Amino acid sequence: MALITKAVRGTRDVLPHESQALRYIERTALELAQAYGYAELRTPVFEHTELFERGMGDTTDVVQKEMYTFFDKGGRSVTLRPEGTAGAARACLEHGLLAEALPCKVSYVLRCYRYEKPQAGRYREFSQFGVECFGAATPAADAELIALAAETLATLSVTDTRVEINSIGCPECRKRYLDALRAHFAQRQSELCETCQGRLEKNPMRILDCKSPVCAGIATEAPTVLEYICDACAEHFDGVKRYLDAIALPYEINPRIVRGLDYYTRTVFEILSEFPEAKGLVLAGGGRYDGLVEELGGQHTPSLGFGMGIERVWLQMQALQAPLPEKHLCELYIAAMNSDALQRAAQLAQELRASGWHVEYDIVGRSLKAQMKYADKIHAKNTVVLGEDELKNQRAKLKDMKTGAEELMTLPDFADEFERLMLRRVERDILEGFGDDVTPFPQP
């Protein structure tokens, strides 16, 4: 029978064997962010459309082409979030977090939605890790943010990366730069693609992001923003570089980085893959957005943040064969020979699970032989068989499936004895790893 439907194009199912790896990435990122002072924030998956139009800029490709926008049953225009920054700023502003002690630091892992051409590491529904820092204006904040992004990737064993930074100035110096860009592109306006011809007056910086080979070629000859930033922005950028030098974080200056959203000011950065098969892939990016909170109705609040594509990071980890935590295996499989034994197996399983052990028993009605085959298939570390004799004598043999060693256990004290046995095995493994000069743990 054919499936009624398949997953929508641009979406994907995360199967159990992969979800453990993605959860590891998410957990690692959030825990490291916590070490930098960032507390987790969770925002709704959809917002009023105006939030993104005001926050991200109505001339950006995301707003013009990529947002999933619809009217709800109340006739309100709502949009599935295409990124995390605008929603985080709205939440912190709405709930008064920006009126408390600053800086306000938040982190998140969330699902985002953009109507883009699906490709490796880029889906229409994707996961993003991000952090936002509200109320910090110094170059030290910029450097710390970049350091957190770089350390997150390094902690995940994502090597072969490079950090690129730039300054796109404040609104005042950007006006001068936009005039220079218009003058440059106007000379070859007829050669630009139709989209970039529309960008010429509204926001010529977007032309620098165009993927058209013709537009990209013309853009290489365009003036750079660093030629037009004011003294205050230049001083801020010099400070960012000094702090990065102080913490020994290598970086390159790329005057062509402008990022794709209008809320950015001053510092912008990207961390790109240098791995041959994915060279140039942006793994993380962000920067400063000092005017966003004010644009959303709050007071002027210097702010900055970054986003990291979790699927892209996972692809890079796979390519680099980065280590992952050992797969969590079943510690004990309880095989039962009859209905009474099966009820006892259920009792034992619940006792052990309450202590945090991964325990399974038969819930589909298999024969004993089939149960043992299943235990082997799921790589159970230990097995125990319960039958009429075991229930009568209140004793059963626990078998270590790796070594074949057996241990006689009493059923009334099974949970406690199992716990002690597992601790002894951990001690054995440590002693074997470190040699004879290690004192054993005292026995409970």
User: pLDDT tens digits, residue range 202-235?
Assistant: 788 878 877 788 888 888 888 888 989 999 999 9
DSSP 34: H
Q: Is 348 helix (H, G, I), strand (E, B) or coil?
A: helix
- The tokens 């013709």 sit on which residue? 214
C-alpha 230/C-alpha 176 separation (Å) is 10
The domains located in the chain, with CATH, are 16-170+229-320 (3.30.930.10), 332-434 (3.40.50.800)
Query: Is the pLDDT reported for residue 444 higher than 50?
Result: no
Stated pTM of the model: 0.86
Q: Please provide residue 33's backbone torsions phi and psi, each rounded to the nearest 5 degrees.
A: -60, -35
User: pLDDT tens digits, residue range 272-312?
Assistant: 998 877 778 899 999 999 999 999 999 999 999 999 999 99
Angle formed at CA 47 by CA 46 and CA 49, multiple of 5 degrees = 120
pLDDT at residue 441 in the model? 42
User: pLDDT tens digits, residue range 373-386?
Assistant: 999 999 999 999 99
Average pLDDT, the chain: 90
Helix (DSSP H) and strand (DSSP E) numbers for the chain: 15, 16
pLDDT at residue 279 in the model? 79
* H-state helical runs in 262-387: 292-295, 310-320, 339-354, 368-377
